[in-house]
Structure 1
């Protein structure tokens, strides 16, 4: 039997004891069904629980616990480094491959099914400061503040973004500053500058939709399309009416943008 450790919020411990581990995660291989991520139990405590600090960035308020589980040696799993194409193999071979690596940091094993209660060996507390964050060897390297890397609501994230603003992903300037930029472009306004300003409006959670409604009449379709993307997710007053107006735009690109927003972003 191969031994693995699965890290989960401590709030899930009672449920795991009662009914096992649910298959909630998607594997790296698109053809696989949902399952769970885990890591082989190695002689090194730090390597075994290396994912703890990274997962704790999105974990519950009471920290994470380690769930040790036993799987048959011939259990089909995938093994690989994160963000890379995994290898399909057996549980025993995955343990052997990871144990033989000189540096297994960043590797993970995916079990494409749920884990039953009988396969759970034990649940125990672990040190909450074990492992790496962001990526192995990240110490001494400036964290990325782009939209894809940052975690909204993470402790210190707003201060980090203000100290190291991303050239494309913010933080966005205040609405008053952006409105002055739009007014400074004149009438009807330079399309390139307006699209850039609307990009920053789109990074805000809400905004003055009524102050931007006049851009729905701009002669450049790229401005009208950028307007739809900028206000589409806002809960502000006047946004549904503005989107309804843009849904009848003569440009197909604007209509397609509104259709996607209404289908994916609006309640």
Structure 2
């Protein structure tokens, strides 16, 4: 059996222990699945994604240890590159054989069952790299994907290295939200709405009763970027209802 680590939020981990990991992530070659990292002799390399993922996921992150069949088909490669299609055992061997495995990831093209979840453990929140491996001393990319709003010296960096692509207007995002038919489409729009203060949280209140737990969790998370009493009330309601 091949051993891997999946990084997620502490809140999601409680649900994972009950029902496994849903296939929510987009694969580089298409399809949905779960991203993870082989367990390596180095603690830092095993949990290298923690610091980078903290930029996108508020709160405490934890590590979910998985055990998959050796012959499970997976994709392995450096993020942004086209992955190699191999088995889980071969993916572990590939990553372990690298001189520098920073930035590598394994994509499992299916959900993870509860039987495959070994344990959930706490990890230091500052372990690993941020932005990209070896970023220290390199010119930063000022795009919204790399420098999130409100980060340390983000305003100063954007003045030095301007990024011309304007954010999508709220009217466009709300139109997409009204026509979204799947939970994944709704989550994509909510994440875009949460990248800056949008106001008008009452427009999202109907999603508090959405049957998909991931939609409700995403809604609770992005409401932190909203101002006003309605946003606070809606977030409290989601926290109470779980």
What is the TM-score normalised by the length of structure 1? 0.60
Aligned with 2:11: secondary structure? helix
Instruction: Name which of 164, 173, 179 aligns with 2:160.
Output: 164
CA distance in 1, matches of 2:167, 2:34: 33
In structure 2, the residue matched to 1:47 is 45
CA distance in 1, matches of 2:167, 2:26: 28
CA distance in 2, matches of 1:203, 1:29: 27
CA distance in 1, matches of 2:127, 2:140: 19
> Structure 1 residues 204, 141: closer, same or farther in 2, change over 3 A?
same
Per the TM alignment, residue 155 of structure 1 is displaced from its structure 2 partner at its CA by 2.5
| Aligned partners of 1:2 and 1:95 also within 8 Å | yes
Aligned with 1:35: secondary structure? strand
In structure 1, the residue matched to 2:24 is 24
Count the aligned residue pairs.
171
CA distance in 2, matches of 1:59, 1:148: 13
CA distance in 2, matches of 1:136, 1:106: 6
CA distance in 2, matches of 1:111, 1:167: 34
In structure 2, the residue matched to 1:88 is 85
> Structure 1 residues 203, 104: closer, same or farther in 2, change over 3 A?
closer
CA distance in 2, matches of 1:41, 1:8: 16
- Comparing 136-145 and 160-169, the one that deviates more: 160-169
> Structure 1 residues 38, 130: closer, same or farther in 2, change over 3 A?
same
Deviation string 1:95-134 (CA, Å, 9 cap, x unpaired) is: 0010011111111000000101110000000011100011
Per the TM alignment, residue 13 of structure 1 is displaced from its structure 2 partner at its CA by 1.4
CA distance in 2, matches of 1:13, 1:167: 36
CA distance in 2, matches of 1:13, 1:117: 11
What is the TM-score normalised by the length of structure 2? 0.66
Compare relative contact order (CA 8 Å, sep 6+) and give the higher one, 1 or 2.
2
Structure 1 spans left out of the alignment, 5+ residues: 170-201, 207-234, 236-267
In structure 2, the residue matched to 1:123 is 120
Q: Which has the larger radius of gyration?
A: 1
Instruction: Name which of 52, 70, 74 aligns with 2:67.
Output: 70
CA RMSD of aligned residues (A): 2.1
| Aligned partners of 1:3 and 1:40 also within 8 Å | yes
CA distance in 1, matches of 2:150, 2:22: 26
Answer yes or no: is 1:108 the counterpart of 2:105.
yes
Structure 2 spans left out of the alignment, 5+ residues: 171-197, 199-242
> Structure 1 residues 158, 133: closer, same or farther in 2, change over 3 A?
closer
Runs of 4+ in 1 over 6 A off after TM superposition: none
